[in-house]
């Protein structure tokens, strides 16, 4: 079993509540709020824990909110290393409108980082990683962290035989594609893939062709494109596969990507093949859509749905 480390540079305390109706003007009386630890890498570690695995989370924390987030991680049984930062860890706020069923999500930017903090974080990660580990970099960059963080992380870990899995978006994703550095796995959703391609990717074959181009250019050894309810496409130098989601009911799409990455990384850590990791990731993503917005996948649902996650060659 390979060690798994998740990296969260911009974690958050996720506050969620509900009101009868969201409208401007009057005070809106909210339900008792719920607080969860959040941020891409943290959610990946939470999914791994829910699925019966273990990981070590590298989490940048600052201020009183950072202390609260650390307590939430302890409560959930997540092992973590704290990287102290100046400023206050962010909070995110989600309000569900019961009248419409819609959810309004307010996401704060996070504390400002200096370039010295970036260098210190890379050094701390490099000093912590065991040889042959799986390293998952997931989520947004806080202000001040340059777009080239993922390539710099990959370069820092090159001598450790670690495999780097990246799930990011926006300018950091664009930089990674424009400056290939040969990470192990790159995951993106269909909208992000279409933005990078500059045109619609209307079916699985077109998505696979775009992913194959990224692999040929050396962006990543394996590229995964999540296609929402249709499942996920995986392309490497030796295979092109699609795994469809075996469920049509959707309670909430929140946490689906993090559940996929957590199950995918856990399967690889257990020395399963890429194709089996794709199936396990798809099963966890399918399980996640069956839970409310504040929850990730459940182990019971993921195991039940796994048999319905069939692979198709592209």
CB atoms within 10 A of CB 202: 10
In a 10 Å sphere around its CB, with 0-12 CB exposed, 13-18 middle and 19+ buried, how is residue 298 labelled?
Answer: middle
Looking at domain 4-313, which CATH architecture does it have? 3-Layer(aba) Sandwich (3.40)
Q: Could you give the residue numbers annotated as active site?
A: 258
Is it the case that residue 213 has pLDDT exceeding 90?
A: yes
Domains of the chain by residue range: 4-313
Q: In whole angstroms, what is the distance from residue 177 CA to residue 46 CA?
A: 28
> Which pLDDT value is given to residue 249?
72
SS3 percent helix, strand, coil of the chain, rounded to 5, is 40, 25, 35
Q: In whole angstroms, what is the distance from residue 102 CA to residue 95 CA?
A: 8
Tokens of 201: 């990717």
Is it the case that residue 21 has pLDDT exceeding 80?
A: yes
Q: Which of 62-66, 202-206, 253-257, 259-263 has the lowest mean pLDDT?
A: 253-257
CA 134 to chain centre: 14
User: What is the DSSP secondary structure assignment for residue 32, as one 8-state letter?
Assistant: P
pLDDT class for 255, splitting at 50, 70, 90? confident
Backbone dihedral region of 269: left (phi > 0), alpha (psi from -120 to 50 degrees) or beta? alpha
- The answer to whether residues 279 and 82 touch, using CB atoms and an 8 Å cutoff, is no
Tens digit of each residue's pLDDT (9 = 90 or more) over 139-175: 999 999 999 999 999 999 988 999 999 999 999 999 9
> Which pLDDT value is given to residue 10?
97
Closest to 11 in 3D by CA, of 71, 58, 48, 54: 58
220-226 sheet: strands from edge to edge: 79-84, 56-61, 4-8, 134-138, 163-167, 183-189, 220-226, 232-236, 240-243, 311-313
In a 10 Å sphere around its CB, with 0-12 CB exposed, 13-18 middle and 19+ buried, how is residue 195 labelled?
Answer: middle
Sign of the CA dihedral running 280, 234, 134, 114: negative
Tens digit of each residue's pLDDT (9 = 90 or more) over 47-83: 999 999 999 999 999 999 999 999 999 999 999 999 9
């Amino acid at each position: 079993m390979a060690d798994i480390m998740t990296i969260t540079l911009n974690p958050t305390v996720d506050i969620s509540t509900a009101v009868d109706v969201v409208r401007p003007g009057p005070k809106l009386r909210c339900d008792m709020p719920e607080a969860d630890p959040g941020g891409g890498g943290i959610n990946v570690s939470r999914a791994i824990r829910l699925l019966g695995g273990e990981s070590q989370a590298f989490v940048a924390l600052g201020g009183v909110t950072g202390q609260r987030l650390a307590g939430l991680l302890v409560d959930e049984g997540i092992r973590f290393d704290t990287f102290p930062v100046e400023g206050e860890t962010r909070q995110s706020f989600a309000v569900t409108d019961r009248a419409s069923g819609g959810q309004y999500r307010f996401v704060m930017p996070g504390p400002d980082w200096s370039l010295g903090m970036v260098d210190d974080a890379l050094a701390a990660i490099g000093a912590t990683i065991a040889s042959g580990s799986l390293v998952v970099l997931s989520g947004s960059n806080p202000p001040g962290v340059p777009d080239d963080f993922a390539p710099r992380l990959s370069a820092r870990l090159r001598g450790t035989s670690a495999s780097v899995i990246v799930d990011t978006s926006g300018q950091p994703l664009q930089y990674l594609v424009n400056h290939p550095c040969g990470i192990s796995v790159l995951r993106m959703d269909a909208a992000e893939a279409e933005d990078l391609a500059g045109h619609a990717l209307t079916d699985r074959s077109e998505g696979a062709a775009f992913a194959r181009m990224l692999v040929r250019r050396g962006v990543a050894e394996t590229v995964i494109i999540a296609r929402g309810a249709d499942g996920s496409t995986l392309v490497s130098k030796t295979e092109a596969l699609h795994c469809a989601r075996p469920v049509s009911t959707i309670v909430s799409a929140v946490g689906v990507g993090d559940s996929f990455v957590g199950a995918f990384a856990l399967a690889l850590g257990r020395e399963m093949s890429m194709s089996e990791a794709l199936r396990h990731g798809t099963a966890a993503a399918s399980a996640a859509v069956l839970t409310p917005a504040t929850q990730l996948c459940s182990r019971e649902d993921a195991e039940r749905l796994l048999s319905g996650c069939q692979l198709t060659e592209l």
